[in-house]
Each structure stands twice: as C-alpha cells, then as structure tokens.
Amino acid sequence: MKKEKGFIISFLIIIYGVLGCYILKQALISLNIIPLIRTDNWQFYENKPGQDLRTKLENKLGSLKVNISNRANNYFPFYVPLMESYEAFNYQTNALFYKNIPIKTNTDKEYLFYNANYNFYYYETFYNEQELSERLAKQINFFNNLAQNDYEIYIYLPNRYELTTLKNNNLHTYVDTFKKKLTNKIKVEELNITNYDNYLTYFYKTDHHWNIYGAIKGYRDILKMLGKKPINSFKIKTDATKYYGSLAKTALNTQIYDTISDLDLKLEYDCLVNNEKPDNLFKPRVIPSNKTNKYYDYYVAYFNGQYGNVIYDYHQPKEENLLILCDSFAWQIDYLIASSFNQTHVINLRYDDYKNNNFNLTEYMHTHNINKVLFLYESGSTLFDQYNYDFGGRVK
C-alpha cells in the first residue's frame, strides 16, 4: 500500500510539475520576460485562396491546428523529445515490414517516406491518378493559353526523386505528357537525374529543395535554354552546421543531416524588394548562430527570399529584361540568372500583394519591357499545382 501511495504521489508531482512549468513558461513569455524567439519553433499558417465555405473552413481549422502546435512546441516542456521518441518507435516498427519506410503525412497531406538504402527522405502525393490527370490538364491549358500572347515562355522542372525514373510506379510519365502536350512555342527543360548518386549530388537528403549543386546545374540548364552563357568561374563554400531540413523536421528525426553550401561569388547589382531597398533580412547568406531548435530552417534563414517582388538591376542596357515567376527553388540562383540580363523581375505569388490577388502577367511584362518569362517552381507545382496557387485562376 505504501509503495502504491508513493507511486501515486510521484506521478502527481511529475504531472503537476510539467503543468506548472507550462503555465510558468507561458506567463513569462506573455509578460515579455522570456523572448519567444529563443525557441525558434513558431509557425505561421498561410490561408488558401478562395472565399467558398469549404476553403474558409479549411483555413479556420488549419489556423487552429498551427496555433495549437505553436503552444505545444513553444510552451509545453519535453514536447519535442517525447515526439521524437514516438516517431523513432514508429520508424523502427515500420522498418521491420517496409523497404521504403513510411513515416507520416505533412501539413500538405503528402506522405513522407525514408529510403533506407540511400539514406534520404522523399514525399509521395496524396492525389489519385484521376486527380493528377485533371490537374495536369488544367496546367497544360494554362500554359498553352499564355503562349497565345506575344512573349516567350520558358519552364524549368527541378524534378525531385518521386518525379524521376528512379522511382518505381513513378510520376515521370506525367512529366513526359506535360512536355508533349505543350505548344512548341514553350520551351521546357528538366533536371536530368539518371542514378541515385546523381540525385544525392543535387538534392538535400533531409529537405525538399535542391542543394547548391543542383541549383548550379539548373542555372546552367536555364541559361542554355534562354540562349545565354553561364558564369563558370566560382567556388563553393560550405558551413559545418548540421542542417535537419523540412523533411527531417516532419519526421522528427536527426539520424541523417545536411549542410548549407553556397557560391563564393560576389556580383555587383542594384536591388529593390517590394519597390524599396532591401533590409538585412533579404538573403543575408549567413548561418544564424546559437539557435536552440535543432530543426531550425537554415535554408530559409540563409537564402531568405520570402518577398512578393524583387528586381535585380545589373545596368546592362544592351541586354534584355527577364521575368521569373517562382517559389523557393529560385532563391539560390535568381541573382545569378539575372546577371545575364539588364533588369530581372522576380515574383513569388505566395507573398505580399500577390498572395491572394490576381496577377496580370501580360500587363506587367508590357509595362516593364519584358519579352521573356521563366517559370521556376517545384515540379509538382508546375505540373499539378499541388499547393493550389491557382495559376489558371489568378495569372492572366
């Protein structure tokens, strides 16, 4: 009886101690005694475009989920270690039965897997074949309609593992269909992945982005497609900080890691960010120090391009102007591509004034004397609009 009583008392002390820490930490943060920034876990929910009831409900639930996650991650003690232990158990259990080990879904409903033979994570889409075909047809129609205008359209596809021929039952047939059904007025190139060593050279093991080597390969492919000569005389520098990217963060697993590499190259240009001179948050190209969260997003911090409109001006009036419509795949090389042009306008539909508004592409190009537009998105976005940017509805 005494043992049971002692166990109950110890259990209650632990429970009330944890709750007490949670309440105390929340109070200290609320009173600005402890800055929230120290935890480095705060997330922001981006509303999906649309005013219909279903979209509004999804946005409300999504915002609530992120809010709860923020409270748990930033206020509740031991949350991350406990979740890491659970995910490690889940991983080890699944590893007994699967060669490609299923981990969990992310916030976009993509399912995360771990390739144990080559030590990297990858996603599989949750869309079925019919949905993929419908989305592909919609994107093809969007691009072919744009091609009726009097400017040149270029598309580059930085295909991740699930879109390459390396993946059994893969999505690469959709890439072939996309290229075949586009009008010949549109030029399309893709990152050529022929084997696993090739893939692991160009992509992070723990993040959904290509690394600097993949980005450089893409840069050279893009310049060739645009009829320009690339810069070849540069070195690559690597920071020793361990980087557990977006996929490792979803898996809550640190068994493999990456490092951040960049070009050791300085180019002279003027730059405007949302029509203003850039501040020190714009692409600082510095690894932040003293971050307490092991899953801190060094990619975003280092290559930060989370802005709606960026204009690079290399003051080369004999060269053309260029427009790049892109996502975070362009952040490592947009300034590099721009060095072959006079002015290069970079637009990301996810941010600022473009976030929930339509974008008149034709008017923008005419206003800024641009004849070439490059689409540089994650391939799933270009092929299937997988994150619902609504290209066909918002870009005219």
Q: What is the pLDDT of residues 78-100, one digit of tens each?
A: 677 778 888 888 899 999 888 89
pLDDT at 39 over 60: no
The residue type of 246 is S
Residue 231 belongs to what H/E stretch? none
Please give the average per-residue pLDDT across 358-382, as a whole number: 97
Q: Rounded mean pLDDT of 112-123?
A: 96
Q: Please report the pLDDT score of residue 112 as a whole number.
A: 95
Q: What is the mean pLDDT of residues 366-394?
A: 96
pLDDT tens, position by position, 283-310: 999 999 878 788 889 999 999 999 999 9
Query: By mean pLDDT, which of 30-34, 319-323, 382-386 is the weakest?
Result: 30-34
Contact in structure between 217 and 229 (CB atoms under 8 Å): no
Region of poorest pLDDT, from 34-48, 243-257, 351-365: 34-48
Q: What distance in Å separates the CA atoms of residue 388 and residue 379, rounded to the nearest whole number?
A: 13
DSSP letters, 157-211, are E---GGGSTTSTT-SHHHHHHHHHHS-TTEEEEE----SHHHHHHHB-SSSSSB-
Domain boundaries, the chain: 2-77, 81-124, 129-394
Q: pTM to 2 decimals?
A: 0.85
Is it the case that residue 124 has pLDDT exceeding 90?
A: yes
* Residue-level pLDDT at 35: 53
Calpha distance 61→89 (Å, rounded)? 29
> What pLDDT score was predicted for residue 55?
82
Report the distance separating Cα 366 and Cα 372, nearest Å. Answer: 11
Per residue in 309-318, pLDDT (tens digit) is 999 999 999 9
265: its two tokens: 């190259």
pLDDT at 37 over 50: no
Q: Which is it for strands 322-326 and 111-115: parallel, antiparallel or unpaired?
A: unpaired
Q: How far apart are CA 155 and CA 148, in angstroms?
A: 16
Q: What percent of the chain has pLDDT over 90?
A: 68
